[in-house]
């Protein structure tokens, strides 16, 4: 039996004259993602994306891939049949046999997108419902609280039968709103921040700061694994690994301990700003949450951000840790994030960090560093890895 996924568009249906650009992006993203499984034809008709599942292809795997594509509000796994009452009845009886076996009550809902079809939606529902009740007497009609709803959609060429939609990933198509650079650490927060901004239509470029030998190769591998998990949602993603050891050692040797973290963060933002521009990014993304650690107070973030030309997006800014952890579990990054391989943010951590840094004093401290030279050296040795 021929199966198809009926994918309903999300908020892009509210777009005006530029709606087609969003739809084209969504179609392209969907085609690219399902190609990981098989060559499944994808088309858009009447604001519904049709993903045809060829015979012999693992339909469950296709559904799993499609449900992670941002821009889709819902997904219906449906059987295709001819636009006749007899064909619709036979398809419903066979395709939904398992659901019918476990249900005690049901109703039929029909959507008649093809207005030339000679029977009304209510008429189709009544006919198919009556016939199903005769075939399955134990299945009691219930128009208000049915255990099973048999959905019939009559469209231009075919009819489709399914048991109802499952939620899609929501949001907007990746790339529809441009590209941004994600400061990707090995912690819980930054992968969640990347996921949330990708859901708003941003293509991602990952930037990771690596301080070997103070951090191990396993710490780097952990970050790359987090990046691979993110690609399930965001698609292909470059990750730029920036050598950070010399910069941290210079800060340790030339600056007051209480300013180590804030000056380190300023170097991260300088380098990220420059790398982001190279990849045509329109902004930076961080996993900062207000007050979570010393470097995430309002004064600290203001001093850190002062070195940037690009806007800094902080999607987690008002969230508490438990809310962030819930999303990390949902997107399967949590277990990797808590592996005991720490990143460079834990190197030379001051005992008493300054939580209200003054920009003038920070600039004075940085005057003892060869800032431009340190940035150039790190920039010239960036390792570029493509994930996905």
pLDDT of 316 over the 80 cut: yes
Q: Could you tell me the pLDDT band of residue 249, with boundaries at 50, 70 and 90?
A: very high
Q: What would the pLDDT profile of 228-243 be if each residue is shown by its tens digit?
A: 999 999 999 999 999 9
CB-based contact 311:178 (threshold 8 Å): no
pLDDT of 16 over the 90 cut: no
Average pLDDT, the chain: 95
Q: Could you tell me the pLDDT band of residue 349, with boundaries at 50, 70 and 90?
A: confident
Region for residue 266 given its phi and psi (left: phi exceeds 0; alpha: psi -120 to 50; beta: otherwise):
alpha
- pLDDT for residue 232: 95
Q: Could you tell me the pLDDT band of residue 272, with boundaries at 50, 70 and 90?
A: very high
Q: Give the H/E segment covering residue 124.
A: helix 121-135
Which range among 78-82, 93-97, 292-296, 346-350 shows the weakest confidence by mean pLDDT?
A: 346-350
d(C-alpha 180, C-alpha 285), whole Å: 7
Q: Could you tell me the pLDDT band of residue 283, with boundaries at 50, 70 and 90?
A: very high
Q: Could you tell me the pLDDT band of residue 14, with boundaries at 50, 70 and 90?
A: confident
pLDDT of 347 over the 90 cut: no
pLDDT of 346 over the 80 cut: no
Q: Which residue, among 97, 73, 111, has the nearest Cα to 148 in the 3D structure?
A: 97
pLDDT of 202 over the 90 cut: yes
Q: Could you tell me the pLDDT band of residue 29, with boundaries at 50, 70 and 90?
A: very high
State the average pLDDT over residues 70-86: 97
- Distances in Å between the alpha carbon of 104 and those of 74, 155, 240, 282? 26, 29, 56, 54
Question: pTM of the full predicted structure?
Answer: 0.91
């Amino acid at each position: 039996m021929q199966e198809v996924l009926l994918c309903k568009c999300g908020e892009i249906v509210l777009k005006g004259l530029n709606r087609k650009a969003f739809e084209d992006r969504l179609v392209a993203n969907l085609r690219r993602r399902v190609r990981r499984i098989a060559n499944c034809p994808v088309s858009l008709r009447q604001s519904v994306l049709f993903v045809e599942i060829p015979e012999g292809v693992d339909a469950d795997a296709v559904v799993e891939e499609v449900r992670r594509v941002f821009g889709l509000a819902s997904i219906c796994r449906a059987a295709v049949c001819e636009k006749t009452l007899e064909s619709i009845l036979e398809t419903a009886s066979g395709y939904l046999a398992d659901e019918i076996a476990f249900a005690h009550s049901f109703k039929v809902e029909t959507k008649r997108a093809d207005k030339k079809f000679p029977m009304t939606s209510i008429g189709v529902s009544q006919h198919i419902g009556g016939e199903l009740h005769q075939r399955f007497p134990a299945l009691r009609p219930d128009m208000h609280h049915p255990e099973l709803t048999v959905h019939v959609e009559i469209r231009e060429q075919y009819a489709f039968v399914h048991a109802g939609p499952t939620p899609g990933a929501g949001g907007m198509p990746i790339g529809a709103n441009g590209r941004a650079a994600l400061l990707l650490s090995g912690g819980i927060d930054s992968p969640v921040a990347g996921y949330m901004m990708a859901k708003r239509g941003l293509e991602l470029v990952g930037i990771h700061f690596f301080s070997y030998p103070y951090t191990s190769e396993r710490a780097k591998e952990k970050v790359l694994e987090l990046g691979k998990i993110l690609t399930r949602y965001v698609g292909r993603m470059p990750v730029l690994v920036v050598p950070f050891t010399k910069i941290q050692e210079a800060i340790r040797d030339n600056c007051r301990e209480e300013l180590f973290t804030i000056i380190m963060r300023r170097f991260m933002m300088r380098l990220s700003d420059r790398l982001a521009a190279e990849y045509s990014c329109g902004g930076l993304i961080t996993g900062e949450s207000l007050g979570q650690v010393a470097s995430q107070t309002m004064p600290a973030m203001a001093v850190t951000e002062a070195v940037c030309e690009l806007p800094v997006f902080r999607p987690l800014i008002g969230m508490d840790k438990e809310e962030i952890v819930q999303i990390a579990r949902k997107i399967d990054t949590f277990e990797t994030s808590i592996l005991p391989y720490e990143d460079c943010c834990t190197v030379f951590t001051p005992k008493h960090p300054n939580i209200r840094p003054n920009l003038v004093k920070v600039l004075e401290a940085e005057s003892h560093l060869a800032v431009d030279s340190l940035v150039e050296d790190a920039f010239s040795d960036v390792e570029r890895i493509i994930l996905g």
